[in-house]
Structure 1
Amino acid sequence: MTAQAYLDRIQTINQGSFYTPDSITRLVYQMLLNAKIDIKDYVLLDSSCGYGSFLEIPQSFLNRQFTQIIGADIDKQALQKAQKIFKDYAIAPLFLHTNSLQNVSREKFNILESSKLIIVGNPPYNDKTSIVQNHLKSTDSNPVDSHLKARDIGISFLRSFDILKADYICVLHPLSYLIKESNFKSLKNFIKHYHLLDSTIISSQIFCPKSLGFFPIVIALYERDNQGMDFDFICNFSFKTREDKSFRLNDFDFIAQYIDKYPNKKRVDSKHKVAMFYTLRDINALKRSKTFMTKENSNTIYITQDKYSLYCYVDVFKQIIKHIPYYLGNCDILIDFKKFQALESAFIKASESKNLSEDIMQYFKDLLGAHYMRIERLEKGIYPN
């Protein structure tokens, strides 16, 4: 997936305008095929269709045509190119130039209320509160219905799919929408009406090969029902990756149970601090951020003596972070607390000396198990298998 050619870097970041390679669209249709959905009874919609990558139906589906295919996008130039691509097709999609997050309704997309609906695509995402590329992100945006507004436009799109009452949804979005509880809850009515049927995690490297860091994107298949899903469902869901790995959040323990991850100055008296640490978010953020600090700022965590060894653990974790695969990048820092306690003094020593003993390295190999990435494989760009 490459950025639209006529968009500059700032436009690409603000619009989230990246377009999807055929290999990924085939994965979406394979999920629909695996779910044994009889598509001939359904309307197909991509409400952020770009060049129409998701509207080109694979050969395996040609004997079971959708009743109607619709592509919509706010990007007029992309739609013009899509129309040229599909102009010789026997059944060309209906293309609509519109803001898909404003005045959302089935009528807007020429879809009957009685029609069965499948939504596919790669909706844009752009977290305006993220520090990554924040200096390039505009605070202005195209109008969005008030009940759809969210800090990330991708979450707004998922909310809009609920308004359209799609029967099935198979789209790409950051894995963090599901595995970070605050993001999951911000999906609001979407999680009340949909549950996750299937998933495949891919790397953002596919879309931004020159990026300084890669994060997990999930191809997610959702089905509408009356029960929805809660965060416990997500914690027990087995996420599959394109590299034939799988994991559940409940496979791991996380550091948030044991330390403060965010500034705690209102609760911890500065007289009791023995050190200071930078705000913690997830594994990917730890790659970019400081650990122990000498100068205080708004991101400072005060460390008391009883928690010092745990922050040493995080500092050491940062040193081995290259061994952690991209698909765990949006997780909190992993820990095996009992094994940590047995090596507590070793972690303090490793943090202070920056030398990792064999015991420390073995700890992380055991912690990550099949997910531990060996350096020789990293150099070849090969993920664990």
Structure 2
Amino acid sequence: MKNERVARLTLVLGAPALAIVAAFLITSLVLVLAGDSVSGVWGQILSLPSSRGVVNIINSASVYYLSAVAVAIGFRMNLFNIGVDGQYRVASFAAAVVAGEAWLPGHLNTVFAVFAAMLVGAAWAGIAGLLRVTRGVSEVISTIMLNAIATALVAYLLRKAAVDNEGSNITATKQIPESSWIPGFRLGDSPNEVYGFVFLAILVGLVYGFVINRTRFGFDLRATGKSETAAVASGINVKRMGLIAMLLSGAIAGLVGLPILLGDAHSYGSTFQSGLGFAGIAIALLGRNHPVGIGLGALLFAFLDEQSNPLQILLDVSPDIVKITQGVIVLTVVIAYEVVRRYSASREQQQVASALDSEDKEVSA
């Protein structure tokens, strides 16, 4: 039994390790073909980050983690929520407007903004969920289209809600009162702070892991994702589960922009960070939708992003080389997981055949 557990753990860890090694080799080949210094690039990327860099990595990882969990909820039910990018945009804008009005005092205003973001994110994802369960529209198509609509809608509403900022060319909403900010904390001698929202990101991961693996709802969700036919036969309302999964995914997506909004920017503007939803898809795949795996994947992507920043200055190498690495990791990890899955299935079949053969010999004897 112990050997069997060790073998399973080796297979689970072997797939992402194989993907990272493959990404390292392929990226090195690209650098050689481009005439760039392979040792210089990897020496910079794999160097020890500064205190400021560590803080940036933690902050980016917390945002990536929330994005990946939102995607993973859909993946667990075999739903591809490609619309996290649009969902967190409309949610962050709504939270910024609500918090900027300061209808409630202090951190009550913060809580109100968080719930507003979750509700708006859930509602935006719910459009795709309703289209799927009522009209059979693929959530991949609807969420991609909703991303484009969200970008245009937020840009339009931002012009309506923007306030004049003297000396700035940035269009932004009203500043959130300082009493409603989520305070951060310092690490070592770093001049910047870790987002206080990181603790809520950790809480989201704990709740996600518990609900998916320890509750009846989580079992129904995973069962539906494995086989809708079997789920229907066991009495699960597949359409309702699909809608709930999209609503939950959208609610978590609504949190993605809040670490930046409440911990750094304090308003939603035309320069608000984009593209976080698509990074979440890659990280969810890398982490196999597991809360711990997603956390490690988020840290890896954040580390690569941070360490690639000086490449242009120090080595005259575009930091976009890291995008190649991240993309290759996603592609190779999917292949590696499939190889491991097939090997595991073959191994189990051999074990069953061996056990049956042993029983036949015992009966014959």
Answer whether TM exceeds 0.5 for this pair: no
Higher strand share: 1
TM-score by length of structure 1 reads 0.22
More relative contact order, 1 or 2 (CA 8 Å, 6+ apart): 2
